[in-house]
Structure 1
Amino acid sequence: MNYISEKSKLGVNVSLGHFVVIKDDVTIGENCLIGNNVVIHEGTVIGNSVRIDDNTVIGKQPMRAVNSIFKDEKKLPSAKINDNCLIGAGVIIYCGCEIGKNTLVADLSTIRENVTIGEKTIIGRGVAVENFCKVGSNCKLETNVYLTAYSEVEDNVFIAPGVVTSNDNFAGRTKERFNHFKGVTVKKGGRIGAQATILPGKIIHEDGFVAAGSVVTKDVESAVIAVGNPAKVLRNVPENQLLKNQ
Structure 2
Amino acid sequence: MFSSYQGPYKLNDIVDKVLPGYEYDITFHDILITGVDSIENANKNEVTYLSNKSYLNDPLSINAAACFVTDDLQHLLPTDTKPIITNFPESIIADVINLFYKDINLTQTNNISNLAYLDEDVYLEESVTINPSAVIKKGVSIGKNTLIDSNTVIGSNVSVGRNVSIGSNCSIKNCIIGDNVIIHPGVCIGQDGFGYVKNNKTYLKKFPHIGKVIVQNDTEIGANSSIDRGSINDTIIGQGTKIDNQVQIAHNVIIGESCAIAGQVGISGSVKIGNNVMIGGKAGIKQHTIIGDNVIIAAGAAVNRSFPSNKKIAGNPAQEIDLYHHELSICYLKK
Q: State the TM-score, normalizing by the size of structure 1.
A: 0.75
Runs (4 or more) in structure 1 with deviation over 6 Å come to: none
Match 2:179 to one of 83, 101, 109: 101
Letter in 2 for 1:104: I
Report 1:91-240 matches (<5 A). 91-94=170-173, 96-112=174-190, 114-132=212-230, 133-167=235-269, 183-235=270-322
Identity among equivalent positions (%) equals: 27
Indicate if the aligned counterparts of 1:23 and 1:41 stay in contact, CA closer than 8 A: yes
Task: Quote how far apart the aligned CAs of 1:14 are.
Answer: 3.6
Structure 1: runs of 5+ lacking an equivalent:
1-12, 61-77, 168-182, 237-246
Indicate if the aligned counterparts of 2:219 and 2:242 stay in contact, CA closer than 8 A: yes
Indicate if the aligned counterparts of 1:224 and 1:235 stay in contact, CA closer than 8 A: no
Task: Quote how far apart the aligned CAs of 1:97 are.
Answer: 0.8
Q: Which has the larger radius of gyration?
A: 2
- Give SS of 2:154's match: strand
Indicate if the aligned counterparts of 2:253 and 2:268 stay in contact, CA closer than 8 A: no
State whether structure 2 residue 121 is matched by structure 1 residue 25.
Answer: yes
Letter in 2 for 1:21: Y
Letter in 2 for 1:220: F
Structure 2: runs of 5+ lacking an equivalent:
1-108, 192-211, 324-335
Task: Quote how far apart the aligned CAs of 1:17 are.
Answer: 2.6
**Mapped partners of 1:220, 1:91: distance in 2:** 34
1:122-162 Cα shifts (integer Å, max 9, x gaps): 01101100012101110011100000101000111111100
Partner of 1:44: 140
**Mapped partners of 1:91, 1:82: distance in 2:** 16
**Mapped partners of 1:166, 1:156: distance in 2:** 20
Partner of 2:162: 83
Instruction: Give me the CA root mean square deviation.
Output: 1.4
Partner of 2:79: none
Ranked by relative contact order (alpha carbons within 8 Å, sequence separation 6 or more), the top structure is 1
Letter in 2 for 1:186: I
